[in-house]
Structure 1
């Protein structure tokens, strides 16, 4: 996983036109295309607390305002608070009899919140200690809670009124009592028969509306010593600390209160083209495994830059690339120019290549990870973005194909490195071990005034074989395809330029 710490020197072109490293790409084995984060739909699978790993359904999470009731965050440094135990201070005895009784009494254990990073405690904010470790900490009330609840109740009434009006428009105005015998009476007919108005009294009275907000020109006076007293920055809250508490926005450190920890989300990604899952985690928050994990570095060959000689205009520089085969099948790789079409092709039994049309691609309607038609949403797709990257050098690509054996974890510890059964061109293949090879290419930069002072970028098309083991009704046996992926390599600046 060392490539996760490298800059984006090697970028793959997504089907939407975006350029991303292979670590941020997905591969959909149903439509045989690589997808980036913009080409997948994100769905929330489960909500959980990152501290206590409490897992709750979405409906209950909304009632709790997406916050855990047992875990708290430090209001100063926003780290998780820990529950500490201590002894309650003993009261001074009022008489000698009380002193003898206090000697026999055991001190009570109390609990308080403490931050192990910045040493903030709930005692600094004046929060009383609790006698139970599970909580019961007093909540900080919002000064505008009454106003907010009034507005929420009023908008619920308006929503109920709009819903009744929409239901009334669905039925004709002229109805008889016989038409309701089969389905029962509606609330409007019951009110009409009882002699009451069709709308509830709370919906038609304008006196129930909350008082509108009125701007006030009167402003509280500033403290008397605001211009004369020295400012102690350690006692004043920062902007980040105030925005963490938008309902109160405390001005001093001793006014801060611990906040409930927010829930995190386990999400799954779904391909926008065929609506199949490309990534789906386990439901349990303790599990780090994935039910479906179609990351691109599991299916598409990975290319890394080993070394590159200094780049000079008009001079051929040696470029060494390392290619790795992550699949469990032997694959054939070819490096082609950028103008090669990227349409996937299928390999027939006779060895001929045919263009793989969209209706022949394994859409997998019988796949278990596909949503049913009633639940499926309309897929929003966009046209591919134009690639604005300009190649700043000419690259000499090998004409012969390259063969890579399947991935074998035990081959990493094989010291023999027996690759004699591969007839490689020594001018192209420099090194081979297991499922990895190093190839030698030559890059000749050319003068380009538009990109002067910028890194030299070269591009080519990587054609690789892919064996789709997904069985469908049309294809019971594994299907072999030839896929083309565009790549762009950032080699660095020219020698003598900034």
Structure 2
């Protein structure tokens, strides 16, 4: 199923509610607000951090302290692949003048054959970790700047809180809010204040740290750079330098193994109703999802099968295939795309309905203690230059529900459907092939010969999500705009 999407990535595109066009494999379907969502109109949240090599799971606080890097895994500084640990046995002389074998470990890359011995790193006696860390020469400067701006931000925050006009409060309120008891305890003990207060002077001001200032004066290049022959094998590439921004080594002999970056598992949430459309499992080794509302599980899939040669002003037959992925029958109808005025009017109606729902949710405060703040999206027009007309069938097409057993059972194709033979070419299980007519227009010559057509697909969807108003499953009619790149016109 995924292979078919790879073969036809941009031929059939669906219009998202935000106005962008995506293939069906790149969009989601929110079962609560019954809208199509893409990666631009959902909220991305980080669920967990993990290492892709050792599958170690780290909390967010610990990952932040380790600078989003794994402590045991390393990347090759030459080709950026993962380094592996190699063992070697050496002979060590003991006090009894009898050689004793000892096992040592070093890091090696199985792709470019780079080893830690190439830069003079000593072999380690333990298999994991233990490599000497290269100290950043600018660590003290960066730490001082961080403390300076942290204290400056704390001072600005306290000034804003002083300007706020608040009513008379009790002593317990201020002690809980500002921690007066903890401040007095640290002051009596002679300890520095919290929040970077130890870096302040006697007047409570942050220390004077000279910030970095851009300068127009640049150091002159040495004269040897124009006369000395450069050995490209000993100079690092731009990719190798940017992989280690804190050091940026100039020569290959200065390359050191870098700790591997951590990856994240993220969940995606609908901006309108704040429900999850995708949520993976917490285990790093699992590829399953707790919630996966991909569009190809809920929306009928449109796929192009064949198309006759396209000529300007002439009719060409197009065959598409429809597939119903749901467990309920669906009726699909094809309608022409609305005009710009009709599209704007419909978007304004949707915006007005969303505002009413938001006001109703805000007024009803007794239903829940936590209020969900919905985001109202501004209508965005879909800017697609259509270079052809398409003659759509006037009758609808019934798609049976998905049945995995019907794929291997030929007896399931004996259902008596009253289809128009001029429209429906063949059927099998929950799939049906339809015939349409495409007429390329003169605008196709100006767009490189590509013929792009579009239509409005109206389909029935069984909403099984229970709400306060509706407890039983409800059948609704949904619409989605579909755009197809049929092909290129042939010579006149």
Both proteins in one fold, TM over 0.5: yes
Q: 1:114 corresponds to which residue?
A: 108
8 Å Cα contact 1:31/1:361 also seen in 2:
no
Please state which structure has a larger fraction of its residues in helix: 2
Q: CA deviation at 1:146?
A: 1.5
Say yes or no: does 1:83 pair with 2:77: no
Task: Indicate the SS of the match to 2:118.
Answer: coil
- For the structure 1 residues 153 and 71, does the alpha-carbon distance in structure 2 shift closer, same or farther, using more than 3 Å as the test? same
Deviation of the 1:183 alpha carbon: 6.0
1:286, distance to aligned residue in structure 2 (A): 1.4
Q: Measure the CA separation in 2 of the matches of 1:218 and 1:460.
A: 60
Q: Distance in 2 between matches of 1:158 and 1:358?
A: 42
Superposition deviation, residue 257 in structure 1: 0.7
Is 1:125–2:119 an aligned residue pair? yes
Deviations 1:395-443 (A, max 9, x none): 2211111111111112222234523411221111111101001111111
C-alpha distance in 1 between matches for 2:358 and 2:158: 46
SS in 2 for 1:339: coil
Q: 2:480 is matched with which residue: 469, 479, 485?
A: 485
Q: What displacement does 1:487 show?
A: 0.6
Report the alpha carbon displacement of residue 152 of structure 1 after superposing the two structures with TM: 2.0
Distance 2:271 2:141 in 1: 43
Give yes or no for contact 1:267–1:281 (8 Å, CA) kept in 2.
yes
Aligned equivalents of 1:80 and 1:375: distance in 2?
Answer: 46
1:4 shift after superposition: 2.7
Which residue does the alignment assign to 1:353? none
Distance 1:298 1:213, change over 3 A: closer
SS of 2:100's partner is: coil
Please give the secondary structure, in 1, of the residue aligned with 2:446.
coil
Q: Is the 8 A contact 2:354 2:376 kept in 1?
A: no
Q: Secondary structure at the match of 2:239?
A: helix
Q: d(CA) in 2 for partners of 1:22 and 1:492?
A: 19
What is the aligned residue count?
Answer: 463
Q: Secondary structure at the match of 2:410?
A: coil
Cα distance in 2 between the residues matched to 1:398 and 1:111: 71
Per-residue CA distance 1:234-284 (angstroms, 9 max, x = gap): 111000111111111111111011111111111111111111111111111
1:300-340 Cα offsets, whole Å, 9 max, x none, are 00011000000112221110000000000111111111128
2:332 counterpart residue number: 333
* SS of alignment partner, residue 123 of structure 1: helix
- 8 Å CA contact 2:148–2:206 kept in 1: the answer is no
Partner SS state of residue 433, structure 2: strand
Contact 1:31 / 1:362 at 8 angstroms: preserved in 2? no
Question: Of residues 391, 394, 398 in structure 2, which corresponds to 1:403?
Answer: 398
Q: Which residue of 2 aligns with 1:236?
A: 235
The 3 A distance-change label for structure 1 pair 392 and 419 is farther
Equivalent in the alignment of 1:272 = 271
Matched, 1:73 2:75: yes
- Provide the C-alpha distance between the structure 1 equivalents of 2:182 and 2:403, rounded to a whole number of angstroms: 73
Q: Secondary structure at the match of 1:204?
A: coil
Matched, 1:315 2:310: no
Return the alpha-carbon distance in structure 2 between the equivalents of residues 433 and 481 of structure 1: 25
Measure the CA separation in 2 of the matches of 1:149 and 1:37: 36
The structure with more radius of gyration: 1
For the aligned residue pairs, the C-alpha RMSD in angstroms reads 3.6
Which 5+ residue runs of structure 2 have no aligned equivalent?
347-351, 362-367
**SS state at 1:124 partner:** helix
